[in-house]
């Protein structure tokens, strides 16, 4: 992916982070998921007083896109203070819909990615049926 496209995706993930609903952890995360057709779907983390019901930004972005009828994805940008990599549950959801997904991780200060991964590096030998 060329760098301008990457920066645009990161900017959308940063905008998505502003919508985060994280009153318990205060750890705000934004994600922007790019489809093969060039559309971008956003997600933010949404927490709950019953902590285990919290959903990560990455899964919200995926479910947003899937529920709009999208099935083919190129890359996801993820923004948080700590340039956090996706949790195990999100990796498994990504693997279901986008086994060759490119994952761009960055913090809130940068315009480009800090780290870039392929899903296969983050979740080798994944479970599938």
- Binding residues for ligand THU (CB under 6 A): 22, 25, 27, 29, 45, 47, 54, 56-58, 84, 86-87, 90
CB 17 within 8 A of CB 83: no
From the list 58, 70, 96, 121, the catalytic residue is 58
For the question of residue 58 being annotated catalytic, the response is yes
Q: How far is residue 114's CA from residue 95's CA, in Å, rounded to a whole number?
A: 22
Report, in Å, the least distance between residue 4 CB and ligand THU: 25
Which residues pair with residue 33 across a beta bridge?
Answer: 41, 76
Closest C-alpha among 88, 67, 74 to residue 40: 74
- Is 27 or 72 the residue whose CB approaches ligand THU more closely? 27
- Is 10 or 58 the residue whose CB approaches ligand THU more closely? 58
Q: How far is residue 83's CA from residue 104's CA, in Å, rounded to a whole number?
A: 9
Report, in Å, the least distance between residue 68 CB and ligand THU: 20
DSSP class of residue 1?
A: -
- Is 68 or 87 the residue whose CB approaches ligand THU more closely? 87
Report, in Å, the least distance between residue 66 CB and ligand THU: 17
Nearby residues of 90 by Cβ (< 8 Å), 6 or more positions away: 56, 58, 59, 62
Q: Which residues are catalytic?
A: 58
């Amino acid at each position: 992916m060329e760098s301008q496209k990457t920066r645009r995706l990161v900017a959308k993930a940063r905008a998505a982070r502003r919508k985060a609903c994280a009153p318990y952890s205060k750890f705000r995360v934004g994600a922007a998921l790019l489809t093969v057709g060039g559309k971008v779907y956003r997600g933010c983390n949404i927490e709950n007083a019953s902590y285990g019901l919290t959903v990560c930004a990455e899964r919200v972005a995926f479910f947003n896109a899937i529920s709009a009828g999208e099935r083919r994805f190129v890359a996801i940008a993820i923004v948080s203070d700590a340039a956090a990599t996706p949790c195990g549950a999100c990796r498994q959801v990504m693997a279901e819909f986008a086994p060759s997904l490119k994952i761009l991780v960055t913090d809130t200060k940068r315009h480009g990615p800090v780290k870039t991964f392929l899903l296969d590096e983050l979740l080798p030998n994944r479970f599938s049926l």
